[in-house]
Structures are given as structure tokens and as C-alpha cells.
Amino acid sequence: MHRTVLMLGLAAGLAFACPALAQSSGPFTIDALLRQESLGDARVSPDGRWIALERRARYDRAPSYKLSRDTDRLLSAVQIVDARSGEVVRTLETPDHSAGYTAGRFSPDGRRLIVYELTPDSWRLGVLSLETGAVRWTALAPEDPRLGLTALWRTVDELLVVVQPGGQLPEIARTGFQAQDRIATLWAATASGRSVGGTFIPSGSARDTREHRPPLSLLRLDVRSGAQTPLAAGAIFDLALSPDGARIAVLEDREDLQPDPDRPVLVGDPIRRRALRLIDIDTGAETRIDPALDYGPYLMAWSPDSRRLLAFARHVGQAGFERSGAYVAIGLDGLVSRFADKPATERSPWDEPVALGGWLGDTPVLRVLDDAGVAQWRVPGGLAPIPAQTGDRLVDWNGETRIERGDRLLSLNGGPDVAGRISDLGEARDAGFRAAYVREATPGRTLISDGCAKAAIDAAPVCVSPLEPDETRVASSPDGAFVVARQDSADGSARFRLHRADAGLTLAEINLDRATFDWGEIIEVAHTGPAGQALKSWLLLPPGLAEGVKAPLVVEVYPGRVSSRPPSPLTRRSAMLQNNPAVIAGGGYAVLYVSLPNPPDGRWSGAALAAQIDAIADAAGATGRVRADRYALLGHSYGAFNVLNAAPHSDRVAALIASNGYADLISAFELPPFFRSAPDEGVPIGQLSGWAETGQAAIGAFPADAARYVEMSPLFSAADLRAPALLIESDLERPRMGKLFGVLYRLNRDAALLTYYGEGHVLASPGNLRDLHAHILDWLARYLGPATRDPTLPVARPGLQDGGQQRGVGALAPEQAGRVEINLERRPVEDALGR
């Protein structure tokens, strides 16, 4: 299930760069944003000899943007650094960026590296020899390693890898243009008159009769000979290798599940039953487990003797995991033992209940609830439970399981605690979301305390040159002799840095030109929140704003977001592709990023939200740098839904820009084109409706609260929406703004519908992104007022055919002598290609 949630929710948040310039480059523009580079992952080999870095080329140099959110992987190169000299000794890349390369795991001896090659139409796995630089490419298309642990080393010469049939693209990549390809095929079938141009998606008792994808295969791959041995087939998405290397636990999707009609849907509710089986790698013998069990994600913990597997499961047909889930231990014979303790679960970012557990010797360590409902760690040996805290993780340190809590490792057996935090080789990213909850018992782990590392509790600490405040440790050598850090500087540049005992060395650097752009001042705006709490919002002024001049104000809205420091999109590190606030500020407008924690009842009404925004705008106006009596609202996704609800309740809203948000909340139950045209990929209506029922919208179960869906949908209060509305949507999502535009058109209101094709929740194509930001700046100039960068720019009045209907807009329109039309022609563009 979490695979589908990732496909639905993953957005492209990319950071990029270009060569340094010697003088001022003027204000930040969309072209500057699009010619940036970015840094990917960094990892160290187990022998400490090599460092693998991922560096991505300019965003506007991609060979295609059809893969949308995976464009950064198309632009990626893998650089191999000799850790002894700090020099790049080889680079895996194509000069024309026709293929992108990313790094997987090092072999246990550090002599080989898994690498992945992605093109707009293909995806394959290879093995890089670190000594020679030769790559042995296979014809295997592995399952996406971001979805779970799907490619791992069993020995120095043997890989276990889950592969897709027919060389398919990664699941995340194909969710975009595969819809177009499939729809084109269906159109052609209809046009032929001889085949079927339709799809069939059943519900209820017949739900499993839908088309299913061909099964994936788990293979044992000898990297020397290339020999492949099939071990299992199915919808496999995660693996766990036993400590003795003899068996592999396989987690896979099975039959479809539909939401329980008697309870509100959670975004994290599974859409397919997750089954678990154990496979003997040498013999291929398979141990199947109780088929009535459905497993929670992430928890697959082998006991040190490799004889039992700890997991989190429930019986199909019971209530959700949060009520009926239990810890279970599975023996090699397939027998399942259930623990009576009530799991104390956490919620993942996708609203999945996550149970945490592990082993201390042959005894399970479980995070459970006591009789009073308080979370605690149940420890072995009759010792008193340890109160649990949010963020606790079980971690293996020198062969002993401990609780990692902040800067300490807590003992589970009554021994002394140890100061410090665990640092590893940078390998955990290959296990998908499981890496956030399960710290694998991997070699090469060091303990960091006061900037120095220890490879063992009794080892002498090894200290390296101090990290700067803007540097973050991303990997360490197994002996602590060096550290790889990422530096994100205030001037917008970024670097990979190598720290040794004597000095620091730059391995790669990007975004050196960011310091040359004219950038506006960022001002803290103090105000109170819905519960009376002290908050900070942040105001980015246009560059070069003259003293005494007040800039027109754009308020960017996303309820639930609170920023205690200047948000990255306002700084020189700004990397948002959609509705970029730094580009808008560079166009001459002040952008206010508001902190909007949810109110005590968990949900903003339109009137309360408008009053809160007005109050924050007043606080921004008190700085004397902006015109706060009238402003534009800007929102994307959930922010768009909220600005549409808030705008009718304030006469100060001069214009609004809403992109890819719901105007009609019933649309949350509708399948997007990809899943409608590809029923074999699953039916994620549960996740989609979960957003509305218990997620961000939190309306309640439908149809029990059907009236609330009408009450809260901006579509049904469109008559009160008088601010000129620029409505933006993308066709690879569901149509979200068309109905609202139709109503506003019917009411003769100033509005526009901007639709992009071949795009998902966040735009990816440079051509479309240039057009989007041109439209945004045009809309602001037309309805909010002239940009401060060019105060002589004439501003058009809205074309008001009916002053009575449109009175709210007319009162807010800037008064100018005469009527001057703004040129809405788009400038030529270069190669054009949630929630």
C-alpha cells in the first residue's frame, strides 16, 4: 500500500545550480530556477576506501520530462571518490544526459557497487567494479529501491534482487506518461472497431477479477558469472535477510482490500493484503504463513539466531491495525506466535500505524502500551519497562540492541547508557520508508559524540575537522577517520565536504551563482495563532525595494505549516518548481509565508481562516514595507482548497491563484487517469478518500457526513467568490478546477482556467513552468497592482460587465486613468517538455 501512497504523494522538490558569475545577475527568475543542479545521496564503502556521490546536471538539460518526478534521476551521475586522496577517480554519466545513474549498495568487501541506469524509456541494474571502473550491465529492471529493500548483497559475489517483467520503468516513473500511452492504445482500439477500447474495474465481491500486473520475480544473481536463480514470484516490495544469510523474508501484496464502510478511511489503510513468506535461499524451499494474516509495513526483524522473525500483523476482516494489530513471532516452520501486549504505534507521514520492535538476544523488545495507555519499551529479564518517547529507535551498536534517543544510546539490560549518536555508511536509503523506523544491523557503524567518532565502546575516539553550522553529516567511514557532510550555505550554494583530522575538502559544489542574484530582505512577522500561541510568519521583500515604498503583497497559504525560521523557498536555496515565491518576489511582489497551525478543533472554517490571514497581513503591514489593505492569495494543493474557502470572507483579497487543489471535495473519491487506464496497478480509492475523511480535510466518513462535503466545497459557495481567480490544474491528476471555472464563467466573473497536459500534481516541464510563472505574474499585475520593480507599469482594470455581480472585485481593482490592456502574449520557450 505504501508504494501507491508514494506514487500519489511524492512531489518533485529539486535543488539545482550553475557556474558562478562575477557580477550581479539581477532578480531571481524562473530561468535561473530551471538551470540549477542538485546533489543526491552519498555513501561510503564498508572498507572505507571509496565514496559514491550523486550529482545532478542542470534541470533544463534533461532529455525528456515525461518521467515528471523522476527527472532528477535522469540527470544524475555517480562520482566515485578515492577517500584517501579526495579525488574523483571515475564518473558514471552520459554527456548528453540521455541516461541518468544512481548508486545502490556497496558489496560487503567494498569492491563492487550496485548502480542503476534510467532513460526515458528503460531502467536496468548494473554492478560497478570500483578497482577497474567497468560496469557489468544486466537486462534486469529492478523494483524501485525507494519503495522497499529490493536489491541487497547476500555475499560479496551474490545479489538478491526483485525484478519487474519486461524491463518496465520504476513504478513512480511510469505513473505519468504510461497513462497517455495506455489511453492512446485504447483510443486506437476503439478507432479500429475490432478490439476493445475500455477498462473494467470491479468493486465488492468481484474486486479481484480486475486485471493484475504480471508478477515480479525474486532472483539470486551471481555477479561473476551472471547466472540467475529464481526464488519467488509475486507483487514483492520488501525483503529482510536473516543474519546467517540462509533465508529471506518476503513481503508482498496479495488480494485487494476495500475500506471498511463502518469507519472513516485513513490515508494509510492498505488497499491490498500484505502477505509474508520465508524462503530458503539455497534450496528455494518456501515457508508460507497463515493466509488470513495481513502485515503492517516496515517491521521485519530477525532474531540473532535466525530462527524467528518479529512482525506486526492483524487478521483480515478485523478492525484496522491501530485497534487489532499485534506483534507476532514467526518460526521457520511457519507457526505464528501472537504477543498479548498492545502495540504502541506511531503514524508514518502516510498515516500508516507503525509498530517498533527488535531483539535483545533471543528475547523480543517491544514498544507497547501499559494499562494506563502510556507507551513504554518492554525489556527482557524482568527489568522495569523503559518509558518510550517520540522518535525512539532501536539500533544495534557493537552487537547489542539499544534505544537511540537524541544524543544517547539507552541500555535495555540495566547497563550504563552511552553518549552519542549513530552514524553509518549511508546505506539505509535503499530500504524505502522502512529506513526511517528500522536501523539495520549493518557493519561500519560509528558512535559520534562531541564531533568525534568511536568504532567501539572501548575504542579511542577519532576526531575530524569541525563541521560548520550549515553542514550535516551524511556518512562516516567505518573507523571514524573521515566524515562526508552536506553543506547548504545561506548564499544558496551546496557542497559535499570530506572532513579528516587535519582539514576539510570540498568534493562537489553547486549553485555558486545564487549569491549573485539580487535578493530581497526576509523579515520576521510576529503574531498569535488560533490558540493564542506566539508564532512567526516570514515576509520576503522584492529585491531593491526603495525606502518608503510599500510592495504589493502576496500571501502564500498552507494550513498546518508552522515555520520557526525563514522557510527555504524564501531563501537563496529556493527550489520549489511550482509557484516559486522567490521568482514571484523577483517579479516585484512581497511574498508572505504564513504560519497556520490547525485550530484546536483541527479544522479551519473559511471565515476563521480569512480572519487569521487578515490579522497576519496586518502584522506584515505594520513593518511599513508592504501594502496590507489588499493582497493576493496563493495556494497549491491543500493550500489551494483553503484559499478558495477563505477568499469570499475578506474584502481585502484582490486576487487569488489556486493550483491543483479540490474545488469539489467529492472529487477526492475519483480515480486519476493513470489508475483508471491501468487497473492492473491497483485501485487506491481508499488512500484518495482517506485524505478527505480523516486526512488534511478531516471531514468525516462519506456518505454519513455527505452534507459536510457540500458545505466545505468551494464549488458550492462560488457565488460568494468575487476576487478574480486564476485556477490551475493538470490532466494527469483528476480535473479539480473545471467545475468551479464553469460556475464562475456562468456568473460572468473574472476568472481563468489554466490547464497543463502531461503533468501531475507538481509541474515538471520547463516550458510549462515558464508559462505558469508568466501567468502568475500577469495575474498579479492585472489585479493586485504594478510590481515594485517597475512602478511605471500600467495596470488594467478588470473587465466588469456586471458591476452588481462583480462589485467585490471592482472595489478592489486598482484605479488608473483610462483602460490599458496588458499584453498577455507568452514569450517563446525553449524545449517544452499530492494533494
**Could you tell me the strand order of the sheet in which 504-510 lies?**
471-476, 483-488, 494-499, 504-510
Is 573 in contact with 536 (CB distance < 8 Å)?
A: no
CATH architecture of 518-664+713-812: 3-Layer(aba) Sandwich (3.40)
Residues 6+ apart with CB under 8 A from 446: 422, 423, 424, 453, 454, 455, 476, 477, 478, 479, 480
The yes-or-no verdict on residue 301 having pLDDT over 90 is yes
Nearest Cα neighbor of 302 from 359, 365, 381 is 359
The DSSP-derived string for 704-744 is: TTHHHHHHH-GGGGGGG--S-EEEEEETTS---SHHHHHHH
The yes-or-no verdict on residue 20 having pLDDT over 70 is no
Phi and psi based region of residue 773 (left: phi greater than 0; alpha: psi -120 to 50; beta: remaining) = alpha
CA 498 to chain centre: 27
The set of cell numbers assigned to 679 is: 487497473
How far apart are alpha carbons 357 and 321 in whole angstroms?
15
Angle of helix 606-621 relative to helix 638-646, nearest 10 degrees, comes to: 90
Mean pLDDT of the chain: 88
The set of cell numbers assigned to 382 is: 524482568
Is 81 in contact with 190 (CB distance < 8 Å)?
A: no
pLDDT-wise least confident of 19-28, 32-41, 121-130, 345-354: 19-28
> What pLDDT does 77 receive?
97
Banded pLDDT at 805 (limits 50, 70, 90): very low
> What pLDDT does 17 receive?
36
The predicted model gives 695-722 an average pLDDT of 91
The yes-or-no verdict on residue 459 having pLDDT over 70 is yes
pLDDT tens per residue across span 116-160: 999 999 999 999 999 999 999 999 999 998 889 999 999 999 999
How far apart are alpha carbons 371 and 368 in whole angstroms?
10
How far apart are alpha carbons 630 and 82 in whole angstroms?
58
> What pLDDT does 434 receive?
81
Q: Tell me the pairing of strands 551-556 and 626-636.
A: parallel
Higher local confidence (pLDDT), 26 or 381: 26
The yes-or-no verdict on residue 657 having pLDDT over 50 is yes
Nearest Cα neighbor of 595 from 558, 624, 569 is 558
The yes-or-no verdict on residue 437 having pLDDT over 90 is no
> What pLDDT does 308 receive?
97
CA dihedral for 802, 805, 809, 810, sign (positive or negative): positive
The predicted model gives 435-450 an average pLDDT of 83
The predicted model gives 730-738 an average pLDDT of 89
Banded pLDDT at 618 (limits 50, 70, 90): very high
pLDDT tens per residue across span 83-127: 999 999 999 999 999 999 999 999 999 999 999 999 999 999 999
> What pLDDT does 216 receive?
94
How far apart are alpha carbons 819 and 72 in whole angstroms?
45
The yes-or-no verdict on residue 226 having pLDDT over 50 is yes
pLDDT-wise least confident of 75-79, 124-128, 320-324: 320-324
The yes-or-no verdict on residue 727 having pLDDT over 60 is yes
> What pLDDT does 413 receive?
86
Banded pLDDT at 364 (limits 50, 70, 90): very high
> What pLDDT does 114 receive?
97
Annotated domain spans of the chain: 518-664+713-812
The yes-or-no verdict on residue 764 having pLDDT over 90 is yes
The predicted model gives 506-530 an average pLDDT of 96
Name the one residue in this structure whose C-alpha cell is 534450496: 283
The predicted model gives 651-660 an average pLDDT of 98
> What pLDDT does 334 receive?
94
Banded pLDDT at 22 (limits 50, 70, 90): very low
The predicted model gives 595-608 an average pLDDT of 92
Q: Is this structure's pTM higher than 0.95? A: no
Banded pLDDT at 542 (limits 50, 70, 90): very high
> What pLDDT does 789 receive?
58
The DSSP-derived string for 177-238 is: HHHHHHHHHHHHHHHHSSS--------GGGGGGS--PPPEEEEEEETTT--EEEEEEEEEEE
Name the one residue in this structure whose C-alpha cell is 466545497: 713
How far apart are alpha carbons 244 and 232 in whole angstroms?
20
How far apart are alpha carbons 616 and 621 in whole angstroms?
9
> What pLDDT does 556 receive?
98
Nearest Cα neighbor of 456 from 496, 414, 409 is 409
How far apart are alpha carbons 231 and 234 in whole angstroms?
11
The predicted model gives 642-654 an average pLDDT of 97
What are the b/e assignments for 675-711, b being 16+ CB within 10 Å? bbbbbebbbbbbbbbbbbbbbbbebebbeeeeebbee
> What pLDDT does 600 receive?
87
Banded pLDDT at 69 (limits 50, 70, 90): confident
